[in-house]
Structure 1
Amino acid sequence: MTTVTTPDAIVTAARGWIGTPYLHQASHRGIGADCLGLLRGIWRELYGAEPEPVPPYSRDWSEPSGDERLWAAAARHLLPGGAEAPGQVLLFRMRSGGVAKHLGVQGAVGRKPTFIHAYSGHGVVESPLSAPWRRRIVARFTFPEV
């Protein structure tokens, strides 16, 4: 368990998951993770136990009901983020009118911004935070201090 929540420690923890295969509802580095599983694994590395049990969820999250369950859970355990910075948790809305249902961790900022995320068909990767991804960001959060 890491006891530091500096941006560098968070990014290092996230990058440690790169190469983990994508597996819906999983959260095991090197074995399988989805985007929430990646965040859960980083949380465990930083803090130990997860803050609450995660109930089973479907791939469409709460789209049929329109409930922002992922956003609400992030707001319960993370702090509001400010200006773009490494180590922030990014919350994405994948389509206009849909619920926010994808997460990642900002890796780099500046001229070549990146984020680390678990992406179906790719596993955990570090991707460019390109315009198509950037316009889908609906919230930024930071991990709380230990």
Structure 2
Amino acid sequence: MKHLIQPIPLSASVEALLAENQLPISDLQDTSKIALFGCVSNTQVSGIVGLELYGHVALLRSLAVAGTARGNGLGDALVAYAERHAVQQGVGSIYLLTTTASGFFERHGYHPVAREDAPAAIARTSQFSNLCPSSSAFMVKSVGG
């Protein structure tokens, strides 16, 4: 199935989808470093992913798919879109934190890494430093130069 994914602004419907999936929204107000991409159908956000860019590294975050849109590859398409965008921006490694989806991300080429090996820019993010529990899986994928 083909999904139309595009940059989207932070909105009440984006925040609602993230909250519905127990994902943090408190740090999204400062969107200067956070790019949001989503799939919107019939004015409803059916999927969202975020990417925080820090030079040659990035933090993949806020991946959520509405319950009614699950099972058709939208999560895969969102991750692929964010990865392509990161590569276009010169990112070489994408990091993420997850409490529930490590298997999903392993299927996409991400692998666990020790939190103490986090690049300084990633370690300073609110996701890493205080929003995601220390029990979260910390993962990385090399995506290019």
Higher strand share: 2
Q: TM-score by structure 2 length?
A: 0.33
Higher helix share: 2
